């Protein structure tokens, strides 16, 4: 078969000349779907896998369509994927009775916190309260702190 045969398409090395314009002319619906997926933050590897295209074409579409691969949507999508994986692994570890994945709750919390920050939601709620204390209110607090309840305690020693 000739080197430029369509049957050899997936076997040829990338040429560096892909711009995506041929795909846009030949199959505009597929091209627009690739653009839409990239704008919604779907990762490049996933786009390559789903649309059966090359990484070179995806990179060209990102450039031509001026899509920032490091945008908040891209980062948010990756964080949500990691959060899903961490939550699944944590749930599996709890259900199987082996909580060897002791770092997962921390990782899950961090991922959840970062997702909330990127989405513009408060990750923490800090409440500041101002209390003015007078001498009388301080004396009242001291009196409330004094316990009229007597607790009996006994020292127990280990006899083993």
Per-residue pLDDT of the chain (160 residues; tens, 9 = 90+): 455 555 555 555 545 557 788 888 888 899 999 999 888 888 888 899 999 888 899 988 988 888 887 777 777 877 888 888 888 887 787 788 776 556 677 777 888 888 888 778 877 777 777 777 888 888 887 887 776 666 677 777 877 6
Extents of the domains making up the chain: 13-64, 72-118
Contact between residue 62 and residue 18 where contact means Cβ atoms under 8 Å apart: no
Question: Residue 86, Cα to own-chain centre: how many angstroms?
Answer: 10
DSSP 71: S
């Amino acid at each position: 078969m000739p080197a430029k045969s369509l049957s050899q398409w997936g076997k040829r090395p990338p040429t560096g000349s892909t711009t995506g314009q041929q795909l846009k002319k030949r199959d505009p619906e597929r091209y627009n779907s690739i653009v839409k997926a990239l704008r919604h933050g779907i990762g490049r590897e996933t786009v390559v896998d789903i649309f059966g295209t090359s990484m070179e074409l995806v990179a060209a579409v990102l450039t031509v369509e001026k899509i920032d691969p490091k945008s908040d949507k891209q980062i948010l999508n990756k964080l949500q994927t990691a959060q899903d994986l961490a939550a699944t692994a944590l749930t599996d570890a709890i259900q199987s009775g082996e909580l060897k994945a002791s770092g997962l709750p921390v990782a899950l919390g961090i991922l959840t916190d970062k997702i909330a920050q990127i989405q513009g939601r408060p990750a923490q709620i800090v409440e500041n309260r101002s209390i003015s204390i007078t001498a009388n209110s301080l004396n009242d607090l001291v009196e409330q702190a004094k316990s009229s309840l007597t607790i009996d305690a006994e020292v127990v020693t280990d006899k083993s």
